[in-house]
Structure 1
């Protein structure tokens, strides 16, 4: 039996060095993050806090952190959020002792002079991250491949470190999902990249107004208002012709359960929308079981809810002291009256949310036991 040939020790050492270098090259350890750890929607919290809490003027990191719910400006979660906001071009300034101010992209999103300006600024923020822009160009008009192949392409062709590639995919796809409705593009397919997310003519390079598909709205507002109501022919008409314009007039983007297209549990999607919406609207007509279940989630989340009903008897007795709009379709101009009242009540609920939250949830809202 022939003896095995021994591999020289120096060859083993050389092989280990090659393997170590290859592993280090595909790892992000010790390297700065070149793309945001947070989604665009999450990062907008920074720009919105500056606009809402300080009229758009620069803020000290300590004050900004408290406005966002962080007790210490050195909190790593707050610092990650600040850095992400900077990488999107929303704000300038990072670090525990920094003064953070709005940049032009951030200002155009949180305080635009038109909905078109906001739409374009959101796209600009997304493309401000070089890696996102390159991947968008590469896959424009195509479906994203399965995770394994997408990950390999990102590592090999775009130099995304292997240990950061999942974060990249999560943030990239979340951003596409968030931006598409503002550009009038279908959000049903989460696994595809549109040819252009800003309506740009790829041949001329000019930006054209986005065109929504039939029965699909172009999103205009950052804040959403989740609508809890029955489905059906007449209710669908009430939603499209009365509630949608009224909610937008109040400065919110209307969202209803049947407009959610993401995969996963329906209850989780509803809970997500409840949590995101500063104010909600519930039509209690007919005492629909699904509506009351969603209403329970809203109260558990301590969210202000404006109620409508065609019959006061459909409103539980212990909720009638809250903001309730009773409409009668037999009255002249009932639809216009309902629309105006919904707009007014939503605006008031945003200013004084506690008046639309029942006890004991109102006390929880104020931090009382």
Structure 2
């Protein structure tokens, strides 16, 4: 094994340990062909020590991974991508649609990632609570029902956790898209919209006034509405149209394990 820079070398130990725990002979062969170095897999004791459960198998895993990366540092990403795709080490994609750019992996420090699966029919609703917004929520629920695909839910429909914000995060995490009502400049809604944007959800903003939409997100198109009977009827119709356009984004690929 030739010289590896310290940052790269640090990554090899957990990769080698995961390979020891999970890889079969076919996994190793796939890695060999993907990197264009199948002889690194078949030569030496790697597959033999795997087959017989020899004590030196763990060391062989790290050694072979190191040789592959030493031969070509680009092989590190090939190996990481294979592991993520095959074993879901990076976690499932929870964004509304597959991204075309770089993906990121992170672990929340304030929230707990829920065990519940993604719900491709769920539209999370983030809005102020209170009687003044009950009619708005009903219009949103009707719009979801009109699509014959989606159903709406907001945090006060839940009580799964002892903290409200965990229920909010779980709702956004599981959802396909998020409707955010900025009316009244409610700081909770802005915080929740930021969570949704970070998780890659499609965010559909609505607001009763242009002045309710903060400058950081004013460049995103939003649906204005009046909180009267006619205004809520118009909101329902426009949201129905917008949500119907999301049905085609309910791709199983985007939610692969």
> What TM-score do the two structures reach when normalised by structure 2?
0.48
